[in-house]
Structure 1
Amino acid sequence: MSLSRGLRPAPRRAALAVVGVLSAALALSACGGDGNDTSGGNGANFVTSKGGISTVPKGERAGIEEIAGETLEGEKLDVADLKGKVVVLNVWGSWCGPCRAEAPHFAKVANDLKGEDVAFVGLNTRDANKQQALAFEADYKIPYPSLYDRDGKLILFGFPKGTLSPKGIPSTVVLDKEGKIAARALMAIDDTKLRSMIDPLLKEK
């Protein structure tokens, strides 16, 4: 057996290694993050408020990578199709205490802003089966869809390096009407803080 053949990982082993890395990264960040980042890295330029919400000036925002897949209800959803609206991306899991704490606030704001140019999309992660996540949505009367991201691939690869990407569970990232990353919170937030991320973007031309 040649040396090169011996060093080549089997496809199944490679796939398992990727899943392992994803799971480990999410495990380290689960229900973590205090939202107090003060440097963007990689040239990113953002400001973090005392409340832990980071924002990027309009002319300096970056776009996202592909964030698309199947919702918990089995429908296809591509965040790119929502361009023209302010998009709220909320990372959550039914097992996460802070996610349960903020869920009523997200449901309230989503209902309050019906008819406005705003779309809400959940990114459900680390729920072993969809039934747990669907029960969460029903309990908190969540009025918007969530992409099922069990292994966290959308979360880890959907945001360019050095941008305001989600780094904990829960995290919330808000895109402007051009589909660019405008604001982020790395903690559970209430309706007031959520509106402070959305309202300025609704007023942008």
Structure 2
Amino acid sequence: MSAASRAPLTLAGAVVAALLLSACTSGGTSGGGGNTNFVMGEDGIATVKQGERVAAPDLSGDTIDGKQLDVASYKGKVVVLNVWGSWCAPCRAEAPGFEKVYKDLKGQGVQFVGINTRDTSTKNAVAFEKQQGVTYPSLYDPTGKLMLRFKKGTLNPQAIPSTLVLDRDGKIAARSLAALSEDKLRTMLTPVLAEK
């Protein structure tokens, strides 16, 4: 077999290997295995039963507008965490729907918090929120340190965008690793909001 005819086979092998590796990293564990206690729905939303959830890690720090924020201060509310970047096209697509749901539900004990990541300055992040009309706060996480605080085997954010729903006790109830429409976000949030 000539080198020219081996090249497509080598490329095909590399593509298959990359796909296999990426499939291994999107299943809800961050390098860990074992029983994760979550169920992946057909809609791509993973959920955990109320008694089997784990607490979200410490998610505190500076916001994109220079204020301090600690997600734990929202205990008692259902919290929607959305990981986003100003450079991310799917993040731009989902932002208007997130803002609409936030405005609809903030009076019902729901708080939204963004986690802006991989933006090299807050300037782009602030411009993104202004352009998209986002009014809820966003933590500034340029290097992804907050995302790395999630324990192995939990419903952790592994993609941008990712969305997590925390229950009123600050435990991770649901996760999506893809951009969400307004309807899918409401579908993800409604069961947790209904819990007592």
- The normalised TM-score by structure 1 is 0.80
Name 1:37's counterpart in structure 2: 27
CA contact (8 A) 2:116 2:125 kept: yes
CA contact (8 A) 2:80 2:165 kept: yes
SS in 1 for 2:108: coil
Name 2:183's counterpart in structure 1: 192
Does structure 1 residue 126 correspond to structure 2 residue 126?
A: no
Name 1:167's counterpart in structure 2: 158
Percent identity, aligned pairs only, is: 57
CA contact (8 A) 2:28 2:156 kept: no
SS in 1 for 2:185: helix
Distance 1:161 1:70 in 2: 25
Counterpart of 1:131, as a letter, is: K
Name 1:139's counterpart in structure 2: 131
Distance apart, 1:36 and its partner CA: 7.2
Distance 1:42 1:154 in 2: 23
Distance 2:159 2:47 in 1: 17
SS in 2 for 1:43: coil
Structure 1 ranges of 4+ moved more than 6 A: none
Counterpart of 1:42, as a letter, is: G
Distance apart, 1:57 and its partner CA: 0.3
Name 2:42's counterpart in structure 1: 50
> Which moves more between the two structures, 97-106 or 39-48?
39-48
Distance 1:43 1:175 in 2: 20
RMSD, matched Cα: 2.0
Name 2:168's counterpart in structure 1: 177
Distance 2:175 2:28 in 1: 12
Distance 2:26 2:143 in 1: 26
Unaligned runs of 5+ in 2: 1-17
- The normalised TM-score by structure 2 is 0.83
Name 1:113's counterpart in structure 2: 105
